[in-house]
Amino acid sequence: MDIRDYLDGDQVDLHGFQDHLDSLDDEARVRAVRSLGPAHQALLFEAAADAALTDTAQLVPAGTPAWQAVVHAGRNSLPVLSSFEKRFFRTELAEVFGYNRHVLRPLVGPGYFGVVRIGSGALMIDYARLPARAPQGGPAVRANSARLGRFVYHRTTDTLRAVGAHVTVGRASRDGRALDAWFVLCRRTPDA
């Protein structure tokens, strides 16, 4: 069965979607997640309305050394340059930060962010919150208001929802207003 078959309009089978993804190996799961276009991402985000991500261990598993990045392969709803990665890491103080890796990084910047708790403990990516330094092997930290990053990351937040043990879906907002911009992430298993 194709992963998109679980996301058919009003008949979203979120549990079937999660079970299917959790049954796949790392590379197959990444391929499946990256096959989801904008309409599927929006459907998945709405279907996961009751699945707010509340545990940072889904982003950076327990036991991951401080300042070591965990790769999440992603696809966003942009018409071009839609494949990217978010790399999350934890500091020695258990704060979680991350940055984006994509082909436009030299122009737009790495788009560093902090992961913060909101509302009832849900997690949100906040591009106004930056780490004190870069993780191991990461690019230099730069303000998101610099260069072309001001058009992409500045004043932006992402709401995260869990859709499986390795997969999250998100929607971007700017200045508190939800945008028609979604993304889906798949945490890679180290050394996979």
DSSP string, 95-144: -EEEEEE-TTHHHH----EEEEEETTTEEEEETT---SS--TTPPPP--T
pLDDT at 92: 96
54: exposed, middle or buried (Cβ count in 10 Å: 0-12, 13-18, 19+) = middle
Three-state SS for 73?
strand
Average pLDDT over residues 149-176: 88
Q: How far apart are the first and last CA of the chain?
A: 23
Indicate if the pLDDT at residue 120 is higher than 80.
no
pLDDT at 3: 86
pLDDT at 148: 62
User: By 3-state DSSP, what share of the chain in percent is helix, strand and coil, each rounded to 5?
Assistant: 25, 35, 45
Q: How far apart are CA 58 and CA 21, in angstroms?
A: 15
The H-or-E segment that residue 39 falls in is helix 38-47
Indicate if the pLDDT at residue 167 is higher than 90.
yes
Residue 59 Cα to chain centre, angstroms: 8
Indicate if the pLDDT at residue 151 is higher than 60.
yes
Average pLDDT over residues 140-156: 77
Can you read off the two tokens belonging to residue 182? Answer: 């979604």
Question: Which percentage of the chain shows pLDDT scores above 90?
Answer: 66
Contact 64, 53 (CB under 8 A): no
Q: How far apart are CA 43 and CA 40, in angstroms?
A: 5
pLDDT at 70: 97
pLDDT at 134: 96
User: Per-residue pLDDT tens for 9-37?
Assistant: 777 899 999 999 999 999 999 999 999 99
Instruction: Look up tokens 């993780």; give the residue.
Output: 135
pLDDT at 105: 59
Average pLDDT over residues 85-107: 87
Average pLDDT over residues 125-145: 92
Q: What crossing angle do the helices spanning 14-23 and 26-34 adopt, rounded to 10°?
A: 140
